[in-house]
Chains A and B, each alone.
Chain A
Amino acid sequence: MARRFERALIVGASSGIGEALARRLAADGCRVALVARRTERLEALETALNEGGEERVRGWVHDVRNRGEVPGLFEEICRWLGGLDLVVYAAGISHRVAFAEYDTEKDVEVLEVNLLGAVAWLNPAAARFGRLGRGTIVGIGSIAGDRGRVGAPAYNTSKAGLHTYLEAIRNRIARTGARVVTIKPGFVATAMTEGLPGLFWVVSRERAAEIILKKARRGVVTAYVPARWRLVSWVVRAIPSRIFRHLRV
C-alpha cells in the first residue's frame, strides 16, 4: 500500500535533489525539517516554503561531518515535526580528481559526507523505525556506486558503501514494517553535474524528486532514476573486470 508522508526530515536539503524533494513535499502539505550546512541557502529555502502560511518547514544548520551533534538534533527535529514518517539522506559531494590524483584529504571528505554522515543520521532513524514498525528511509546513492571506476574512486566507494549500508539496515528492520529505499540516480541536473562532459539522459532535479517520492511511497527496495539506468547498470556490472579496467570509464 502506498504511504502518505506527513512529517519528513531531509538531510542535505539546501540544493540539488534534497532541495527539490523539500519543495515537493512542502507543496504536498508535508511538514518538513531541513538539515543543511549552508545557512543562507537554508534560510532562503525555509522562507520561500513558509511564505504566506503557517510554519510548516524549518531548517537546522548542520555539517554532517559533526556526527556528535546528530542524536540531539534528531530528537529535537522529531519533536518539532510531531513524529517522523520519512527520512531522506541526500547530502553528497564529489570532488573532481585527475586520473592519477590520489588526494587523501579530498577522499576522506567525500567518505565523511556521503557515507559516514549517512550512517550517523540513518542509525537513529533505523533504530526508531525498527522499534515503531513504521517509517521510510530513503538514501540517495548513485549508479556510480555500482562499479569502481577510474574517475572517482572515493565517490564510487562512498556510494557503494551507502548502498550496502542501506541494504543492511533494510535487512534489520524491514520485517517490522519499516522501509528502506535505495535510490540510484543517473545524471541529474544539479551543481554536482554542471559542466561535466559526456552526460546523457539528464533529468531535472524536479523530475528526479518526483520519481524518488513515488518510489518511496511504494517502498521499493532499489530504484534507478530514471528507470532505464537499471539496464545500464546491469550491463556495466556484467563486464568482466579484466575488460572493464581497460575501458577508462
Chain B
Amino acid sequence: MTGPLPMDRLEWVEGWGMAVGAAGYVFRPSTLDGVRRVLELAAERGVPVVPRGAGCSYGDAAIVAEGIVLDTSRMRRVLAWDPETGIVDVEPGVPVADLWRYVLGDGWWPPVVTGTMVPTVGGVLAANGHGKNAWRRGPIGEHCLELDLMTADGAVTTVSPKSDPELYYAVPGSFGQLGIVVRARLAMKRVASGLVEVEAVSAPDLEGMLRLLEDGLGRWEYLVGWIDAFPGGRRLGRGLVHLARHLEPGEDPEPAQTLRAERQDLPDTLLGIVPRSVVWRALKPLTNRPGMRTVNAVKYRLGATVGEDARYRQTLAEFSFLLDSVPGWKRIYRPGGMIQHQSFVPTGRAHDVFAAQLEACRRAGLPSFLAVLKRHRPDPFLLSHGVDGYSLALDFPVIAGSRRRLWKLVRRLGELTVEAGGRFYPAKDAALPGELYRASFPGGELDRFLRLKARLDPDGFLRSALADRLFTSG
C-alpha cells in the first residue's frame, strides 16, 4: 500500500506537560488484530510507531513526529481476576483508576500506584513507574508476573521473569521500544481496610527532610516529602513529609464499607462549597514566581504550625492520587506548559546534589514551583531508574522567554546527577540531553538494550521522540 497516511488520523499529540508535542497519525485499535494491523501499516509505509496509553508522561515518551501513534486506551478490559490470589490479567489500556476500583472490594490494592490514577497499566509498565512506597516495593515491573509482548513483526510472546529474564527485565522502562504490551498479569497487595493512617511532619531544611524520610523506613509503607523550593540559605530544602501505612486488621471498624470503591471517591467540592473543577482557575493568577513563592510559603507555614505532627486517616485513593485532587490543574501552566525533571541520587550524595540543584534553580532565576522528594531502592531492570537513595522531582513552568535558559538549567541538574552516579526517570523528562542519560548507564546497560532492540525490531519501527533523544541521538 502506498500514498499518504489518512489525514483524518492526524492529531497534535503532546506530553502531559504540554511543553512538547508533535503531529502524529493516531490509531486506536481495540483488539490484538487491530494492533497488528497498525504495525503492518507502519511497516508498509515505512513510518515509525510509538505506543501511547493515557498520555501521562510529562515529556516526549509517547510522541513521534509524523509517525503512527498507537493509542491503546480502548483496550481496557480486565481479562481475569482471582480474588483469592489477588492476581489480575488486564489489557494495556486499563487505567490505574479502573484497576483499583476492580480489586478493592475484594480487599486488594495495586502494590504500586502512580500519583494520579489516570495512567494506563501499559503506560505505567512502559515507564516502569513507581509510587510513594518505591523504597519498599520497587517499580511496577516487580509486581508483574508475566506479560504478552507484541513485537514489531506482529508476533505475540508471553514473557515472564522465569521464561526469558533477559527480555523480561528489559521491557519495563523501555517505553515501548521493544514491543507493545498487550496483556499484563499483575499481583495485587492484600489490604485490610480502604483507609491509610497518615502522619505529617515538617522539616526546616533539606537535611531534616532527608532524616525524616530515612527514619520512616521500615515503619511506614509510604514516604513522600514536599519541598518549598523558593528559600535559600538555612531554609534551603525546607518542607513537609507525609508518612502513611495501611491499617492492620481490626483497626478499621467497618472495612466492608471503606473497601467500597464509591467510598474512596473524592468529594466534588472543597470545603463543601467550591467545585474542584474550578480550583485551577483560582490558582492560575498565582502561577508566577511571586505567586508561587507565596503559595509554597503559606503551605509550609500551615504544615509546620497547625498541621505539625498531625495524624489522620485518609482513603487510599485520596492519599495515593494527590495529583487528581485538583482536576485539570496542569492548565495553570498554559500557554507554555510545564516540564519536570527527576533525579535519582545515592543516599550518601543526595543531600549535596539536591542542595546544589535547588541552588542552581534559584541562581538561574527558575525556582521549581513544586518539588517532591522520595526514597527508592535498586531493582533488577535493565534501564532502571532505581538507586539506593532518593529522588527529587522538580516542576518548572515553560515560558517563551526563558525556555532556552530552562533547558540549560536541566542540563546542569543532569550533570550534577551523573557526577554523583545517579539516574533519571524518562517518564518525567522532556529536556535532558541524551549524552547525560546515556552517561547514567556506565555499565553498558544501554548497549545491551540496543542490541536486544536490534534483534526484536531490526527495522527500528518502534520509535519515539524520547528514544531518539535519549537512547540513540548523538
Contact = CB atoms under 8 A, between A and B. Distances in A.
Interface of A: 1-2, 4, 71-72, 74-75, 78-79, 82-84, 127-128, 131-134
Contact of B65 (A83, A131, A133): A83
Nearest to B65: A82
B11 A131 contact: yes
Nearest to B4: A75
Interface string B375-405: 0000000000000000000000000100000
B235 to A, nearest CB: 35
B323 interface: no
B4 A83 contact: no
Interface string B330-346: 00000100000000000
A134 B4 contact: no
Nearest to B22: A83
B468 to A, nearest CB: 9
17 contacts: A1-B335, A4-B400, A72-B3, A72-B4, A75-B4, A78-B23, A79-B66, A82-B22, A82-B65, A83-B22, A83-B23, A128-B23, A131-B11, A132-B10, A132-B11, A132-B12, A134-B12
Contact of A128 (B10, B22, B47): B10
Contacts of B8: 131
Contacts of A71: 4
A71 B6 CA distance: 12
Given A1-B335, A83-B23, A133-B12, 19 more contacts: A1-B400, A72-B4, A75-B5, A78-B23, A79-B66, A82-B22, A82-B65, A82-B66, A83-B66, A84-B23, A127-B7, A128-B7, A131-B7, A131-B8, A131-B10, A131-B11, A132-B12, A132-B23, A134-B12
A78 B5 CA distance: 12
B130 to A, nearest CB: 31
Contacts of A84: 23
Nearest to A75: B4
Contacts of B10: 128, 131-132
Contacts of B3: 72
In the A-B complex, the 6 residue pairs with the smallest Cβ-Cβ separation, listed nearest first, are A82-B65, A75-B4, A79-B66, A132-B12, A83-B65, A131-B10
Contacts of A128: 7, 10, 23
A75 B67 CA distance: 11
Nearest to B12: A132
A79 B23 CA distance: 10
A1 B23 CA distance: 21
Contacts of A83: 22-23, 65-66
B241 to A, nearest CB: 40
Contacts of B47: 79
Contacts of B5: 75
A71 B3 CA distance: 9
A209 to B, nearest CB: 22
B400 A78 contact: no
Interface in B8-64: 8, 10-12, 22-23, 47
A131 to B, nearest CB: 5
Interface string B217-253: 0000000000000000000000000000000000000
A2 B400 contact: yes
A133 B23 CA distance: 11
A175 B428 CA distance: 32
A84 B22 CA distance: 9
Nearest to A76: B4
A216 to B, nearest CB: 16
A71 B400 CA distance: 33
A127 B4 CA distance: 14
A74 B3 CA distance: 11
Nearest to A127: B7
Nearest to A177: B12
B5 to A, nearest CB: 7
A152 B4 CA distance: 39
A133 to B, nearest CB: 6
A248 to B, nearest CB: 48
Nearest to A134: B12
B99 to A, nearest CB: 33
Contacts of A72: 3-4
A129 to B, nearest CB: 10
A4 B47 CA distance: 26
A7 B272 CA distance: 49
B257 to A, nearest CB: 46
A209 B366 CA distance: 35
Contacts of B7: 127-128, 131
A79 B68 CA distance: 12
B236 to A, nearest CB: 34
A71 to B, nearest CB: 6
Most chain A CB atoms below 10 A, which of B3, B8, B66, B335? B66
A78 B47 CA distance: 12
A42 B257 CA distance: 74
Contacts of B22: 82-83
Nearest to B8: A131
A127 B22 CA distance: 16
Nearest to A82: B65
A133 B13 CA distance: 11
Interface string B63-103: 00110000000000000000000000000000000000000
Contacts of A75: 4-5
Nearest to B9: A131
Contacts of A133: 12
Contacts of A1: 335, 400
